[in-house]
Amino acid sequence: MKTKRLIRTGIAVIILAGLGIWINSRWDAWFRNPEEPPYAPLKEPGRIMLTFGDKDQLSRNINWQCDSTVADSSFAELADTLAKDTMRVAAQGEIFQSRSGKAAYYVARLRNLKPDCYYSYRVCTNGIYSEWHNFRTHNLSTKKDFSFIYTGDVQDTINGVANQYLKTALAQHPQTEFFVFGGDLTERPIDAYWQETFDGLDSIRQHYPVLNVTGNHEYLKYVIRKLEKRYSLVFSYFLDSMIGENQVYTLKYNNMQFFLLDSNRELPYLWTQRQWLKEELEKSDAQWKIVVLHHPLYSIKGKHNNMMQRTMFNSLIQKYHVDLVLQGHEHAYARMTMHDENGKATTPVYTVSHCSPKSYRIDFDGRFDKFGIESRFYQYVRAHGDTLSVNAYRFPSGELYDSLDIVKNASGTSIIDNGKNIPEYLEFKSNGSEKDCRYMKRINKYKSFTQTQKNG
């Protein structure tokens, strides 16, 4: 008996020691927050961000920062360039105190705007005006084509290249009406990285409405993660749409509706979001339904990753016929199309992309139609008639990487795969380590598999 007890005790000690070593190795990744260096607030209005509002699809919010005290005399000056009317819209201000500084954040909510109209605006705090910027509201006709650009994680390094890449994408697709990001737009919740985020979006964020969901890098890491309020003060549509502490938002844009989720939260929060998503999908009569969240519901880094998010949301996404699910987090490109009981490709279509300097090793799950590694990708999504075209491109070359059309007509929904013959980018430079060698074997195995598939 003593021998058995000693063996059991020894096994328990070994397990506990192994668990302790593993937890210690992961501690920084789970709980360590980088220090935020002290910073001074802006002395004149800056970090201007144009976003959508919460009242209707023509609502817009203008957000900016200035000084460290709220000035009552803050406003946006808005000019209808055709009617030559100018009006002032009072701004609401709020102080946010971070770990190493504080600043005043403002939002001017623009309502009752005209469709298909050019506006110019500038903002003012303490009698100091910004430069003039402009934007255009969209045509409300459901027959009018429109498009947007999407990418996942940006989280650029200081003095990074995201701004150059995004402006190149916009130049390639000048009909773009707004930008959507899949979270981790900021590397970490510290002021220096927030500045890099604004720099990365410069000349875009002032003129094109920006939609962004929360990513894990926007959170402070604790046992229960914490999202600083400055995130919502920057993306101010959340101020009016969030449910409790859940950053959720829906936008109807012509015949398309977006549903933004916060996939970073713990189970009770995800359950609340599930209820919200169910109610919003039940009410939706949009021709095109798009869900945006950070964590891929079907992970490309392991079949069992993100199971909690998939359990909470995926059944609703499929039940209510969501067309497109835009995701990030896993720093590669992937596209997966669902199939009905007869094997016919149908919606939803799940995609992953990113614009980060970091690339991750992935699994090559046979459920997916296409992968891309060690590169940056964005998608240009265009609604035209009965078709939603989803084309993926590589940064910065603008080379077409993937393409499909979702078609809805009297015959039902069908998928036209225009990208199956576009070669996959699967180049990887191994440093000779055991981990890299294993990954190279995985890549080569996938290449062999796809070649066999092509050869029939």
Q: What is the DSSP string of 84-104?
A: TEEEEEEEEEEEEE-SS-EEE
* 25 Cα distance to chain centroid: 29
In angstroms, rounded to a whole number, what is the distance separating the alpha carbons of residues 139 and 50? 18
More confident residue, 395 or 156: 395
Give the model's confidence band at 23: pLDDT under 50 very low, under 70 low, under 90 confident, else very high.
very low
Please report the pLDDT score of residue 337 as a whole number: 97
| Per-residue pLDDT, 27 | 45
Residue 337's H or E segment, with its range, is strand 333-339
Q: Is 106's pLDDT higher than 90?
A: yes
Answer whether the bond into residue 396 is a cis peptide, omega within 30°.
yes
What percentage of the chain carries pLDDT values higher than 90? 83
> What are the pLDDT digits (tens) for 185-232?
999 999 999 999 999 999 999 999 999 999 999 999 988 889 999 999
pLDDT at 1: 57
Judged on CB neighbours under 10 Å (0-12, 13-18, 19+), 408 is middle
Binned at pLDDT 50, 70 and 90, residue 138 comes out as very high
CB 235 within 8 A of CB 229: no
Mean pLDDT computed over every residue of the chain? 93
Residue 28 has pLDDT above 70, yes or no: no
pLDDT in tens, 243-298: 999 999 999 999 999 999 999 999 999 999 999 999 999 999 999 999 999 999 99
- What percent of the chain clears pLDDT 70, i.e. is strictly above it? 93
Is the overall model pTM greater than 0.75, yes or no?
yes
Give yes or no for residue 233 having a pLDDT over 80: yes
Measured distance CA(109)–CA(197) in Å, rounded: 22
| Residue 43 to residue 49: CA distance in whole angstroms | 17
Q: Which token pair is 306?
A: 């993100």
What is the pLDDT at residue 6?
Answer: 64
pLDDT, residue 14, reads 66
Spatial distance between the Cα atoms of 409 and 385, rounded to a whole number of angstroms? 10
Cα–Cα separations (whole angstroms), residue 220 to 98, 104, 191, 216, 322: 11, 21, 13, 8, 31
Task: Report CA torsion sign: 209, 243, 57, 70.
Answer: negative
Q: Compute the half-sphere exposure of residue 198: CA atoms within 13 Å on the CB side of its CA.
A: 17
What was the pLDDT predicted at 16? 62
Q: What is the 3-state secondary structure (H, E, C) of 42-54?
A: CCCCEEEEEEECC
Using pLDDT thresholds of 50, 70 and 90, give the confidence band for residue 124.
very high
pLDDT at 374: 96
Tokens 């919502």, located at residue = 232
Q: What is the mean pLDDT of residues 382-406?
A: 97
Reported as a single tens digit per residue, the pLDDT across 282-338 is 999 999 999 999 999 999 998 889 999 999 999 999 999 999 999 999 999 999 999
**CB of 110 closer than 8 Å to CB of 120:** no
Return the pLDDT at 454: 75
Closest to 391 (Cα-Cα) out of 335, 339, 346? 335
Closest Cα to residue 412, out of 351, 350, 344? Answer: 344
Domains and CATH numbers, the chain: 46-136 (2.60.40.380), 146-417 (3.60.21.10)
If you average pLDDT over residues 431-451, what whole number do you get? 93
Of 174, 194, 173, 184, nearest to 151 (Cα)?
184
Q: What is the pLDDT of residue 32?
A: 76
